[in-house]
Structure 1
Amino acid sequence: MRYTLRQLEVFVAVGRFESVSRATEALNLSQSATSTALAELEKQFDVRLFDRHGKRLQLNESGRALLPRAIELLDRAGEIESLLAGNAGLNGFRFGATLTIGNYLATLLVGEFMRRYPGCRVQLDVHNTEQVLRKVAHFELDFGLIEGDNPNPDLSAEPWVSDELVVFAAPDHPLMREKHVTLEMLARQPWIVREPGSGTRQAFENAFHSVRSQMDVRLELEHTEAIKRAVEAGMGVSCISRLALKEAFRRGSLVPIEVAELNLQRQFHIVWHKQKFHTPGMQAFIALCREVTAGAARSDEIVMRDASGRAIEYR
Structure 2
Amino acid sequence: MINYTLKQLYSFEAVVRTKSFTRASKELFVTQPAVYMQIQQLTKNIGADLINTKGKTVTPTYIGKMFYQTCIDVIDTLEKSKLDIDQTLDPEAGHLQIAVATTTNSFVSHILAKFKKKYPRMSFYLDVTNRESLLKKLDNNEADLIIMGEPPTDMPLITQPFMENPLIAIAHPEHPLLKNQKNTIKNLTNETLITREQGSGTRITIERIIGMRLNSDIEINSNEAIIQAVQAGLGIGFVSKHTVKLELENNVIKQLDIDKFPITRHWYVVHHSKNKLSPIAERFKKFIVENS
> For the superposition of Structure 1 and Structure 2, which TM-score range results when normalised by the shorter chain?
0.5 to 0.7
Compute the displacement of 1:121 (Å). Answer: 1.1
1:80 corresponds to: 86
Q: Which residue of 175, 178, 181 corresponds with 2:180?
A: 178
d(CA) in 1 for partners of 2:92, 2:230 = 47
Partners of 1:146 and 1:269 within 8 A in 2: yes
Q: What fraction of aligned residue pairs are identical, expressed as a percent?
A: 24
SS in structure 1 of the partner of residue 218 of structure 2: strand
Query: Do residues 228 (structure 1) and 227 (structure 2) align?
Result: yes
2:209/2:260 contact within 8 Å kept: no
Q: Distance in 2 between matches of 1:170 and 1:268?
A: 27
CA gap 1:179/1:75 in 2 versus in 1, 3 angstroms: farther
2:278 paired residue number: 279
Cross-structure match for 2:142: 140
Residue 236 of structure 2 aligns with an amino acid whose one-letter code is V
Structure 1 CA distance for aligned equivalents of residues 228 and 153 of structure 2: 32
Distance 1:241 1:158 in 2: 19
Matches within 5 A, 1:147-166: 147-166=149-168
Structure 1 position 133, deviation (Å): 2.3
Q: How far, CA to CA, are the matches of 1:147 and 1:75 in structure 2?
A: 35
Instruction: Report the CA distance shift for 1:266/1:75 in structure 2 as closer, same or farther (over 3 A).
Output: farther
Total equivalences in the alignment:
217
Distance between the aligned counterparts of 1:244 and 1:217, measured in 2?
21
Please say if 1:91 is aligned against 2:94: yes
Instruction: Tell me by how many angstroms 1:168 deviates.
Output: 1.1
Aligned-partner residue type, residue 253 of structure 1: V
Larger radius of gyration between Structure 1 and Structure 2: 2
Q: CA deviation at 1:77?
A: 7.0
In structure 1, what is the equivalent of residue 264 of structure 2? 265
Q: Is structure 2 residue 206 aligned with structure 1 residue 200?
A: no
Distance 1:140 1:271, change over 3 A: same
Corresponding position of 2:9: none
Task: Structure 1 unaligned segments of length 5 or more: list them.
Answer: 5-73, 294-315
Query: 3-state SS of the aligned residue for 2:152?
Result: coil
Gapped runs of 5+ residues in structure 2? 7-79
* Aligned partner letter, 2:129: H
What is the aligned-residue RMSD (CA, Å)? 2.6
CA distance in 1, matches of 2:254, 2:5: 61
Does the 8 Å contact 1:148/1:198 carry over to 2?
no
Q: Which amino acid aligns with 2:146?
A: G
How far apart are the structure 1 equivalents of 2:87 and 2:230?
Answer: 50
TM-score normalized by structure 1?
A: 0.63
Residue pair 1:80, 1:89 contacting (<8 A) in 2 also? no
- The code of the aligned residue for 2:239 comes to I
Distance of 2:136 and 2:81 partners within structure 1: 21
Distance in 2 of aligned mates of 1:236 and 1:163: 22
> How far apart, CA to CA, are the structure 2 residues paired with 1:252 and 1:106?
24
Residues 229-281 of structure 1: CA deviation (Å, up to 9, x unaligned): 10010100011111111111110111111123446111111110111111111
Do 1:95 and 1:124's aligned partners in 2 also have CA atoms closer than 8 Å?
yes
2:104 pairs, out of 101, 110, 129, with 101
Aligned to 1:248: 247
Alpha-carbon distance change, 284 to 209 in structure 1, aligned in 2, over 3 angstroms: same
Alpha-carbon offset, residue 88 of structure 1: 5.5
